[in-house]
Amino acid sequence: MVSLLDVIFNCELSSLCSISSVWFFLFKDRLIQQWNEIRKTKRKFLFGVLTGWLFLILMTVFFGFISGILRQFLGLDGQGLNQSNIQSTFQEQPLLIAVFACVIGPFMEELFFRQLLLHHLQKSLSSWLSILLVGLVFALTHMHSLALSEWVSAVGYLGGGIALSIIYVKGKENIYYPLVVHMLGNSLSFIILVISSM
């Protein structure tokens, strides 16, 4: 018997795949141009991705630590709904959550938050203000309600949003830097989830 969670997740996955296709079509020329730039400087790209990944891990741990302190100070239990949803979906559909969390999600988020939003904000605001705003919006989109516990959980995502935005700017707005770093970061989280579920 198919559960309601399966139906919702499969519909959401289909919608996200469709939206990803539209995003790819809209940014196709720029994506191809940036890919060709990377092919010319493979070592530089690899170094940028590895240092970016370490930076993402450090920022995520630091902001996660702050989120944990706030959670203790405010007497909040458990974890954010986003993480809970990922864990419960993993129990039902591990392969689908792997594809979504490690490939489709990062692709869509990077095209929207970095390629579209950050790129255009920098035209009228300073880079640092743009990075902070995009990081904040990134964190807020990982909230599932306006409960205090969700605001505190969003602090953890703020670190990742800021880190990926900095990587984008430092990589001369080549989307493949934050995209690959984001995929690696989510893949590491997924591997940890798999190991902790054994």
124 alpha-carbon distance from chain centroid: 24
Q: In whole angstroms, what is the distance from residue 81 CA to residue 166 CA?
A: 26
Whole-number average pLDDT of the chain: 86
Q: In whole angstroms, what is the distance from residue 154 CA to residue 71 CA?
A: 11
Give the pLDDT score at 144.
Answer: 83
> Which pTM was predicted?
0.86
Give the pLDDT score at 110.
Answer: 94
- In this predicted structure, the answer to whether residue 1 has a pLDDT above a threshold of 50 is no
Contacts of 79 (CB under 8 A, 6+ apart): 153
Give the pLDDT score at 122.
Answer: 96
Instruction: Please state, in angstroms and as integers, the Cα–Cα distance from residue 116 to each residue in 18, 42, 105, 168, 174, following that order.
Output: 18, 25, 15, 12, 12
Q: Which two tokens stand for residue 156?
A: 């953890």
**135 compared with 16, residue with greater pLDDT:** 135
Give the pLDDT score at 8.
Answer: 44
Give the pLDDT score at 149.
Answer: 87
Q: What is the dihedral of CA 130, 171, 114, 184, to 10 degrees?
A: -130
pLDDT in tens, 55-95: 999 999 999 999 999 999 998 887 666 676 777 777 788 88
pLDDT in tens, 14-47: 565 566 667 667 788 888 999 999 999 999 999 9
pLDDT in tens, 106-115: 998 999 999 9
For the segment 99-122, the average pLDDT, to the nearest whole number, is 92
Q: In whole angstroms, what is the distance from residue 34 CA to residue 151 CA?
A: 35
Highest mean pLDDT, choosing among 29-33, 147-151, 156-160: 156-160
Q: In whole angstroms, what is the distance from residue 44 CA to residue 49 CA?
A: 9
Highest mean pLDDT, choosing among 8-12, 24-28, 34-38, 145-149: 34-38
